[in-house]
């Protein structure tokens, strides 16, 4: 979606034009006032040394006060407008980022790749916010000022005045070219640090903790060395630019001195004015190196946010599908998280309305993967999945939010009544546990319901899936962690309720007695 040449136009078009224009004008006015203050102050001091009549200095005194007040006022206005511009664009980027993540997640490459991608998106979004403050406005304002100063100097020093424009380009291009592309050191260190925190008990139990720490320490030293090398490279680039600034300044000053000493086209008072203007212009060049590095980082962030990874387009089968009385039709579906390791190959089956179906198979045979394909988490590599209705599902990766039991139901189904919640909890055989809780439906859950047992958590997820309307109810191991009596009673109540609501169950299970009660059993 975004390539190297189109990077800047894409981001410039993101904010409102009026906000961008007003920020630019305020910043330009602040810079003009700063240069005007330096120039008029120099003229005032030089002229006052000649003891002219006070009336001669009145205009300059007024100009100094005007430029001083204007510089402060326009600077505050520029800060307000530029931050408004940045945060407005940041909001639009965040909304785009949310939509993109919702379309792409979960990534079929797994949780590690998913975490790395989300981390790159969120940090990249913050980088793009800084683009408007530190990457866009400083070069634009400085360019306009240098063009005006060069135009004023040209009648005096001729082609020497044009040196300011190549100097401007060097202040942008040298830091941009010299910027070091991010190496994988930071990502590697971050992964190892996370592993050391989350897997400390396992490492200690395996006796590998002492051997792991030196490896982590080595990665930390590599990251520190990389950061030092980047800082040293930036320092050398900035030092070279300062030398160029001094060289151009001396050349322009020599040209102006020629005008004073030889052809008398310039007075010493005018020379002092131009001297201060040039010093102020050199000050305006200083933020450009930082702006160039911000632009370079923003380009990388934009490429990550707007291009990778794209939601994959499913491959549609051209074979005809018999949709008569079919709630779900799977036809010649192939899928694998890695192209070289297929999980499902040539899978075909149908589920009719009311035809409760069990999916059984060994661990790793693709049962939960199949449920994810039906839910649309990933497109099939080939084949077709046709559904004539809505889905409600409880998969092994389902998440429960911190808050009360009622909050979790209302997040899923806004406006659901307490009576409907209690009915679903009764069918899921969680009502007796709830009766023993003093807070009832206001019982609080920790993150992902870690304060519940595995069986209680599964039953709560089953109740949530049952509460969500949908012609097809997918349950992934709903009886895991339950004794045989409770599991049988849960399944009985569940099938009675689904038949009453004319809904169809797709049960993923290792439980043979549970699978035997289904009208159709599919072995993977």
Tokens found for residue 16:
């409102």
- Confidence band, pLDDT 50/70/90 cuts, at residue 316: very low
Question: Looking at 64-68, 91-95, 289-293, 376-380, which range is the least confident one?
Answer: 91-95
Nearest CA to 219 out of 191, 185, 195 is that of 185
Q: Distance from first CA to last CA of the chain, Å, rounded?
A: 39
| Arithmetic mean of pLDDT over the chain | 82
Q: How deeply is 403 buried, as exposed, middle or buried, from its count of CB atoms within 10 A (0-12, 13-18, 19+)? A: middle
Tokens found for residue 288:
């450009």
Tokens found for residue 518:
């289904």
Angle at 285 between CA 284 and CA 287, to 5 degrees: 85
Q: What is the pTM of this model?
A: 0.56
Per residue in 164-208, pLDDT tens? 999 999 998 888 887 655 544 566 666 666 666 666 666 666 666
Contact 494, 331 (CB under 8 A): no
**pLDDT value at 264 more than 70:** no
E strands, 451-494, in order: 472-476
Assess whether the previous peptide bond of 106 is cis (omega < 30° from 0): yes
CA–CA distance, 305 with 307 (Å, rounded to integer)? 6
- Residue 126: its pLDDT value, please? 78
- Residue 328: its pLDDT value, please? 92
Q: Identify the residue with better confidence: 365 or 475.
A: 475
**What domains can be seen in the chain, in order of their start residue?**
7-307 (1.20.1560.10), 312-524 (3.40.50.300)
Cα within 13 Å of Cα(151), Cβ side:
6
The helix (H) or strand (E) run that includes residue 515 is helix 512-516
Contact 29, 9 (CB under 8 A): no
Per residue in 369-428, pLDDT tens? 898 899 888 888 888 999 888 999 988 778 888 899 999 999 989 999 999 999 999 999
Contact 132, 92 (CB under 8 A): no
Contact 32, 5 (CB under 8 A): no
- Residue 195: its pLDDT value, please? 64
Per residue in 433-456, pLDDT tens? 999 989 999 999 888 888 888 888
Provide mean pLDDT across the span 513-517. Answer: 88
Which is it for the CA torsion 193, 446, 404, 484, positive or negative?
A: positive
**pLDDT value at 88 more than 60:** yes
- Residue 319: its pLDDT value, please? 46
């Amino acid at each position: 979606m975004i390539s190297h040449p189109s990077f800047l136009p894409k981001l410039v078009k993101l904010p409102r034009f009026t906000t961008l224009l007003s920020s630019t004008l305020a910043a330009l006015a602040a810079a003009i006032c700063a240069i005007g203050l330096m120039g008029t102050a120099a003229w005032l001091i030089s002229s006052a040394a000649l003891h002219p009549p006070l009336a001669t200095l009145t205009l300059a005194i007024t100009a100094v006060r005007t430029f001083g007040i204007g510089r402060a006022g326009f600077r505050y206005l520029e800060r307000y407008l530029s931050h408004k511009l940045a945060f407005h664009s940041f909001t639009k980027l965040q909304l785009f980022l949310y939509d993109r993540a919702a379309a792409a997640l979960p990534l079929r490459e797994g949780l590690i790749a998913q975490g790395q991608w989300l981390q790159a998106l969120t940090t990249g979004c913050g980088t793009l916010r800084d683009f408007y403050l530190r990457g866009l406005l400083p070069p634009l304002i400085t360019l306009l000022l240098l063009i005006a100063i060069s135009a004023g100097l040209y009648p005096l020093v001729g082609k020497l005045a044009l040196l300011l424009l190549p100097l401007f380009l060097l202040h942008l291009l040298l830091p941009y070219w010299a910027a070091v592309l991010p190496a994988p050191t930071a990502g590697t260190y971050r992964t190892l640090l996370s592993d050391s925190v989350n897997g400390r008990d396992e490492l200690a139990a395996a006796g590998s903790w002492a051997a792991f720490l030196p490896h982590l320490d080595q990665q930390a030293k590599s990251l520190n060395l990389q950061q030092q090398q980047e800082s040293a490279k930036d320092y050398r680039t900035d030092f070279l630019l300062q030398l160029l600034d001094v060289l151009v300044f001396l050349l322009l000053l020599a040209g102006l001195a020629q005008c004073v000493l030889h052809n008398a086209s310039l007075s010493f008072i005018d020379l002092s004015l131009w001297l201060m203007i040039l010093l102020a212009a050199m000050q305006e060049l200083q933020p450009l190196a930082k702006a160039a590095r911000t632009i370079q980082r923003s380009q990388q962030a934009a490429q990550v946010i707007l291009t990778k990874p794209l939601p994959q387009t499913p491959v549609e089968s051209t074979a005809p599908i018999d949709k008569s009385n079919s709630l779900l039709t799977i036809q010649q579906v192939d899928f694998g998280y890695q192209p070289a390791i297929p999980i499902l190959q040539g899978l075909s089956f149908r589920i009719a309305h009311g035809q409760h179906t069990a999916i059984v198979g060994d661990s790793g045979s693709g049962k939960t993967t199949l449920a994810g394909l039906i839910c649309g988490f990933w497109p099939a590599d080939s084949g077709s999945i046709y559904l004539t209705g809505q889905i409600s599902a409880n998969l092994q990766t389902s998440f429960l939010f911190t808050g009360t039991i009622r909050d979790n139901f209302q997040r899923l189904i806004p406006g659901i009544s307490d009576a409907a919640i209690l009915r679903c909890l009764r069918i899921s055989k969680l009502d007796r546990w709830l009766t023993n809780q003093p807070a009832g439906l206001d019982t609080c859950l920790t993150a992902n319901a870690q304060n519940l047992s595995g069986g209680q958590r599964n039953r709560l997820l089953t109740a949530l899936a049952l509460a969500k309307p949908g012609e097809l109810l997918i349950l992934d191991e709903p009886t895991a962690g339950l004794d045989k009596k409770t599991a049988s009673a849960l399944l009985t109540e569940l099938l009675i309720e689904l038949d009453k609501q004319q809904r169809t169950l797709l049960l993923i299970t290792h439980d043979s007695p549970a699978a035997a009660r289904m009208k159709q059993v599919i072995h993977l």
